[in-house]
Amino acid sequence: TVWPNTGCFSEVAYSQSTGQKEQLSRCLQRGIRRVQDLCKVLQLPRVFEETAVSYFQRALQHPSFHLVSLEKKELLGGCCVFVTCRQHNWPVTMGTICSLLYAKQELFASVYLSLQKELGLSVPALSLADLVKTHLNSFRLFQHASDVPAPFVEDKDKMIARTMQIVELASETWLVTGRHPVPIVTAAAFLSWQSLQPASRLTCTLGRFCKLAGVDLPPPAHLRLKELLEILLRMASQLAWLRVFNMDKKTVVKHIGDLLQNRIFLLKNAFCLEDREEQCAAAPGEDSPGVGSPGFPLATGGAAQEEGCPSEGKRQREGSPRPLLPPCLINPRKRLRTAAPNASDSAITGDEPISDSEIEQYLRGPDEIRAFRKAKAWP
């Protein structure tokens, strides 16, 4: 058979002629393998892996992710795994995923937010208690090893319980709000580990502790440790049997157990309330009606109620209690200084523009005009 005008025919791919793709694209295949490998490293259940793969396939089919860079497409699989873990209340942090993918946290966070927005995914908040348990499970201090000295080995359950108490204290004193949780958990774990056997562990630094535990040291962990020690020192100043000692950041670790046991009472007395300060400032010689009420408990009982605010002022001078505020309000960031105005610019020349509000001050109404005429006795 001879076909007439064979030039009108052209080669058509099988997938184009049938509308069916014979195989997945290479980008999708690599992404699925990356998601599966990441789930295996994290030892996630099979259901998690299937959910993460389905999210990844949906994301690549979405128009918003067609023209993104290759680096963001590689992070897309990690974001799908992270979303799946959060939806199943599996405590995995963003920093853990980033360390496995060798990715920057800022870029990973942007891709994660885009994925959550475009696919309309509902992601619940991470439980801090589960995060503490998961983070401490990766420590190598709970079993004897050749590179871990015997005095540094600690019981896992005791350390998790003490760390949870310190993290709860940090949450009650505004040290957790709006911050990455891993540095706070690391600092709390270090303090709890030191307090369980302080005699042999006080000389150990935070950097060496993380090295022995086999975990990374987050840069803000030193600041979180400093803030926690400041809170503990203020609480220690309210215990009668600790006032005879000269407490510092080393010795206060020995008494963390006693401080945590009386946490609520010590916090109320170590930190004053702003309303209480205002009442004392307004009536320094009179009894304030709010003092001694359930909302304003006193540490000294009836003696403080009789003396009123003068005793409170004396206590503030001795212990210098401050309001319990977030660290960003206590130590605000320094702002850039603006250039001081020149003397020539501030000089009054008489040619300055007059605002409408200033003009209205000189305008008189009919009543004012009549009163002004009577006062001047005009004819």
Domain closes at, from 119, 142, 157: 119
Contact 34, 56 (CB under 8 A): no
Instruction: Clarify whether residues 43 and 82 are in a common domain.
Output: yes
* Class of residue 294 by CB neighbours under 10 A (exposed 0-12, middle 13-18, buried 19+): exposed
Alpha-carbon distance of 8 to 118, in angstroms, equals 44
Instruction: State the Cα–Cα distance between residues 359 and 178, nearest whole angstrom.
Output: 49
Let me know if residue 341 belongs to a domain: no
- Is 340 domain-assigned? no
Same-domain check for residues 157 and 101:
no
323 sits in which H/E element: strand 322-323
> Does residue 333 lie within any of the structural domains?
no
Pair (139, 258) in one structural domain: yes
Pairing of β 271-272 and β 322-323: parallel
Name the residue range of residue 230's domain: 128-275
Q: Which of the 8 DSSP states describes residue 66?
A: S
Is 144 in the same domain as 96?
A: no
Final residue in a domain of this structure, among 119, 146, 162: 119
pTM beyond 0.85, yes or no: no
CA distances from 345 to 187, 337, 340, 349, 352 (A): 53, 18, 10, 10, 11
Q: Which tens digits make up the pLDDT trace of 314-348?
A: 444 445 567 777 787 777 777 766 666 666 666 67
86: CATH: 1.10.472.10
What does each of the 379 residues of the chain score in pLDDT, given as a tens digit?
555 555 555 565 555 555 445 456 777 888 899 999 999 998 898 999 999 999 999 998 888 888 888 888 889 999 999 999 988 888 788 888 888 888 888 899 999 999 999 989 888 877 788 888 888 888 888 888 888 888 899 999 999 999 999 999 998 888 888 788 889 999 999 999 999 999 899 999 999 999 999 888 888 899 999 999 999 998 988 888 888 788 888 889 999 999 999 888 888 888 764 444 444 444 444 444 433 333 333 333 333 343 444 444 444 444 556 777 778 777 777 776 666 666 666 667 767 777 766 766 666 777 877 777 777 654 5
Mean confidence (pLDDT) of the chain: 77
Residue 130 corresponds to which tokens in the numbers above?
Answer: 């589960």
Query: What is the pLDDT, as a whole number, of residue 4?
Result: 55
**Domain boundary, last residue among 73, 92, 119:** 119
**Pairwise CA distance, residues 114 & 166, whole Å:** 35
Q: Specify if 219 maps to a domain.
A: yes
On whether both 271 and 132 belong to a single domain, the answer is yes
pLDDT digits (tens, 9 = 90+) for 248-280: 888 899 999 999 998 888 888 887 644 444 444
